[in-house]
Amino acid sequence: MILHNLIDYETLRVIWWLLLGVLLIGFAVMDGFDLGVGMLLPFVAKTDTERRIVINTIGPVWEGNQVWLILGGGAIFAAWPPLYAVSFSGFYLAMFAILFALILRPVGFKYRSKRESPRWRAGWDWALFIGGFVPALIFGVAVGNVLQGVPFRFADDMRIFYEGSFFGLLNPYALLCGLLSVAMLTMHGASWLMLKSDGAVAARARRFGTIAAIVVIVLFALGGVFVLAGIGGYTITSPIDWSGPSNPLLKTAVREHGAWFANYQTRSWLYIVPAMGFVGAAGAFIAMRLRLEVTTLLLSAASILGIIATVGVSMFPFILPSSLDPKSSLTVWDASSSHMTLFIMLIATVIFLPMILAYTSWVYKVLWGKVDARSINDKSGHAY
């Protein structure tokens, strides 16, 4: 028996769909508060010492948190090659903007305190704001476009043709999703600052965080109404070969009103997923008001999990629908790597993902505790 036949192709495809979701949610939860803290920096900190407190709450961990972004990109490349090809070419300018903003973060961290000039430091503070705001917005805009369908198609020889534009991505529904992403990560960043800082910084973070939590609830609900009322979804109309070859053109699919709600109608227990998005944000709001620091962060993370998982659960088995030619849409059943590749990658994941979780947990345990003005002013090991 060949080892990779221990798990059938259909099951491996579902496992890698789940793992892709885990990695994307891991990035949003772990690096999300870094982005949120960057967005909050100019508003929750008024003095240079306060701003250094804010920066040093994420200074020791932000690089490690970005591992989840690298893992997610690697998983898309190796497990879902057509998805990588379409998204990274079609969203090229958007990806470039994200990378530019993410590059601003390490530069801002390293260079901000190199000079005493208030103008110099204020400029880098706004660079760090951009480094948080732009990725949060564009990631949300990308998700909004995925839900609507992306303007690409496959030719008969499997060449990809993308017929959209950067500004075409900035449609009203996509911008709504972008604002939801910004609010969600602002809430998460505020939760982190409540945990890692105290005094005026924590108080301001709590105030912004409660507002962000309310905005998350409103925009998440509004997004669902838009999907139900006018956005529509996609459905496969031909027989499905769950273990068939990875060729999207072998199926037929159509755009259909209410298709993104079909999975909930057949499996009503799935309503738990969007409910988690609402309950997590509402719970974070209450926990912020009660000053329950750890609880706030956990509930904020639960809200992020629910919101992102809602997208995946609603679209399944679609991964990237095509608005130009629905049969070109990428699904779990026709956009994966080979059976052997998925199996080998799964073995590697089983070995290395626990290691990543272990050292990440150890780092957070070692760095547990608050960053305050005293530790900043006496230069007790804080790099920024």
Q: Residue 384: inside a domain, yes or no? A: no
Q: What is the C-alpha to C-alpha distance for residues 222 and 231, in angstroms, rounded to an integer?
A: 12
Kindly state the tokens that stand for 366. 């070692």
Angle between helix 92-111 and helix 81-90 axes, rounded to 10 deg = 80
Q: What is the C-alpha to C-alpha distance for residues 263 and 26, in angstroms, rounded to an integer?
A: 24
Report pLDDT for 4.
63
What residues of the chain score a pLDDT lower than 70? 1-4, 379-383
Termini Cα distance of the chain:
56
Q: Residue 304: inside a domain, yes or no? A: yes
Helices (H), 156-292: 172-196, 199-226, 262-266, 272-289
Using the Cα atoms of residue 317, residue 321, residue 326 and residue 328 in order, give the sign of their dihedral. Answer: negative
Question: In 10 A of CB 100, how many CB atoms?
Answer: 13
Domain assignment of residue 349, given as a range? 3-377
Output phi, psi for 46, to 5 deg.
Answer: -105, -30
Buried/exposed 9-41: b ≥16 CB within 10 Å, e otherwise: bbebbbbbbebbbbbbbbbbbbbbbbbbbbbbb
Angle between helix 199-226 and helix 293-315 axes, rounded to 10 deg = 20
Q: Residue 338: inside a domain, yes or no? A: yes
Buried/exposed 51-62: b ≥16 CB within 10 Å, e otherwise: bbbbbbbbbbbb
Residue type, 158: M
Q: What is the C-alpha to C-alpha distance for residues 297 and 281, in angstroms, rounded to an integer?
A: 10
Q: Cβ contacts of residue 73 below 8 Å, gap of 6+?
A: none
Q: Residue 106: inside a domain, yes or no? A: yes
Split into its structural domains, the chain has a count of 1
Task: For residue 141, give Cα distances in angstroms to 113, 150, 173, 177.
Answer: 33, 12, 8, 6
Using the Cα atoms of residue 178, residue 182, residue 188 and residue 189 in order, give the sign of their dihedral. Answer: positive
Q: Is 304 helix (H, G, I), strand (E, B) or coil?
A: helix
Q: Residue 382: inside a domain, yes or no? A: no
Q: What is the C-alpha to C-alpha distance for residues 376 and 371, in angstroms, rounded to an integer?
A: 8
Q: Residue 263: inside a domain, yes or no? A: yes
Kindly state the tokens that stand for 300. 């904020």
Q: What is the C-alpha to C-alpha distance for residues 25 and 189, in angstroms, rounded to an integer?
A: 15
Question: In 10 A of CB 266, how many CB atoms?
Answer: 8
Output phi, psi for 92, to 5 deg.
Answer: -55, -50
Per-residue pLDDT of 314-354, as tens digits, reads: 999 999 999 999 999 999 999 999 999 999 999 999 999 89
Output phi, psi for 42, to 5 deg.
Answer: -70, -10
Per-residue pLDDT of 72-110, as tens digits, reads: 888 999 999 999 999 888 888 999 999 999 999 889 888
Angle between helix 172-196 and helix 9-30 axes, rounded to 10 deg = 60
